[in-house]
Chain A
Amino acid sequence: MHPIQKDSVNPPATLLSLQLQYFAIFREQAGKRSEVLLSSATTAAELYAELQQRYGFELTTSQTKAAINNEFCDWDRQLKSGDAVAFIPPVAGG
């Protein structure tokens, strides 16, 4: 392991270990039901943007909801390591 370098201009980003679950169209587009992801995202919105880049999710944040640890949450919700995160595409039960 390298010692942490002091760099006041660009401090090293802290990577969070997140447990992702994918459902429906997101499961198909990601090609998996779940994964552990190391991410520098700090909020649910930043993480969703990262997944849009990675997997080509086309739904916008106004069409999608975020859930952390099995509870709906706001898009500006701060992430912490170990969080279980899922994004909820438009629902169609009934």
Chain B
Amino acid sequence: MPGAFSFCDTPIDPAALQATLNHPAAGGFVAFEGRVRNHNEGQTVVQLEYEAFPELAIKEGLLIMDEAMQRFAIIGAACIHRVGLLEIGDMAIWVGVSAAHRDAAFSACRYIIDEIKQRVPIWKKEHYASGDSGWINCETRTRTRSE
């Protein structure tokens, strides 16, 4: 089962994704769900916007899934990232891993989410209750005023 990586611009359906990882040899399944949080660095977040460079992001995302399949004794792995405007509580990313045993499933799931955050060209703009907004990791010193 090759690792899967994709984007969507509508709400993520974890049940459908989890079903793709079902396998008779899988004694364990681990999932990580990343959700939009209502605060960051002392500011109240009201909305969040994700943008991706799809061609490069899919390539890098699939590379990470392949790395996970090579490094850990897992059966299957899948990841989907949502883009566009998200509200508080919305799921932004889902990572699922099935494996014969739990150790590999936990480790691979952790590896995938950590590498995605570091390497995949996806950007996040937070919109704050104050009316300010900012691209995370890009403009920590100066906040741009939203229109």
A87: min CB distance to chain B, Å: 10
Question: CB-CB < 8 A to A79: which residues of B?
Answer: none
- B residues 14-61 touching A (CB-CB < 8 Å): 34, 50-53, 55-57, 59-60
Which of chain B's residues 121-137 have a Cβ closer than 8 Å to chain A? 121-125, 135-137
How many residues of A are in contact with the other chain, CB < 8 A? 19
Q: In the bound complex, do residue B56 and residue A91 qualify as a contact, i.e. CB atoms below 8 Å apart? A: no
Count of inter-chain pairs, beta carbons less than 8 A? 74
Residues of chain B within 8 A (CB-CB) of A1 are none
Partner of A24, one of B56, B59, B135: B135
Residues of A within 8 A of B57 (CB): 93
Does A24 lie within 8 Å of B119, measured CB to CB? no
Q: Is residue A75 contacting chain B, with contact meaning CB distance below 8 A?
A: no
A88 to B51: give the CA distance in the assembly, Å.
12
Chain A residues closer than 8 Å to B34, beta-carbon distance: 94
A70 in contact with B137 (CB, 8 Å):
no
Q: A23-B53, A70-B56 are in contact. Are A89 and B138 (CB under 8 A)?
A: yes
* CB–CB A70/B138 < 8 A: no
Which residues of B come within 8 Å of A, CB atoms?
A: 34, 50-53, 55-57, 59-60, 81, 92-93, 113, 116-125, 135-139, 144
Q: A89-B137, A93-B57, A94-B116 are in contact. List 18 more A-B contacts (CB 8 A).
A: A23-B51, A25-B123, A28-B144, A67-B121, A70-B55, A70-B56, A71-B59, A72-B60, A86-B53, A89-B138, A90-B137, A91-B120, A92-B123, A92-B124, A93-B52, A93-B81, A94-B93, A94-B117
Using CB atoms and an 8 Å cutoff, list the residues of chain A in contact with chain B: 21, 23-25, 27-28, 59, 67, 70-72, 86, 88-94
